[in-house]
Amino acid sequence: TYVVSENCIKCKFTDCVDVCPVDCFREGPNFLVIDPDECIDCTLCVAECPAEAIFAEDDLPADQTHFTALNAELSKLWGVIVEKKDPPADAEEWQGVKDKLHLLER
């Protein structure tokens, strides 16, 4: 399965949503996750993310492996998003900022 990692937090560009053929993105207040039960490993979303936040589960950087469980957990709590929307006004400022997990809103 594919996994959304930390750099999406507070960036949430949503370009990924438009290309997913099976609508497996779920939307929280400032982060998106992938439902691992829906993802068909098509790889299309990876190149769309301006923040380079999406990885195959097996390719996650070592400091991001906990995002697999977080995507699984939050995907059951959050609703489907199927269309791109405007990112937060300060999205560019948060791109590449480290240690954003404590800023995740549920």
Residues in contact with ligand SF4 by CB under 6 A are 2, 19-20, 22, 24, 34, 39-45
Sheet of 79-80: strands edge to edge?
32-34, 25-27, 79-80
How many binding residues for ligand F3S (CB under 6 A)? Answer: 14
Task: Please give the helix or strand (H or E) that residue 71 lies within, else none.
Answer: helix 67-75
User: If contact means CB under 5 to 8 A according to the sort of partner, which of ligand F3S, ligand SF4, none does residue 57 touch?
Assistant: none
Contact 50, 7 (CB under 8 A): no
In the complex, the residues that contact ligand F3S under the rule CB under 6 A are 4, 8, 11-16, 32, 48-49, 51, 53-54
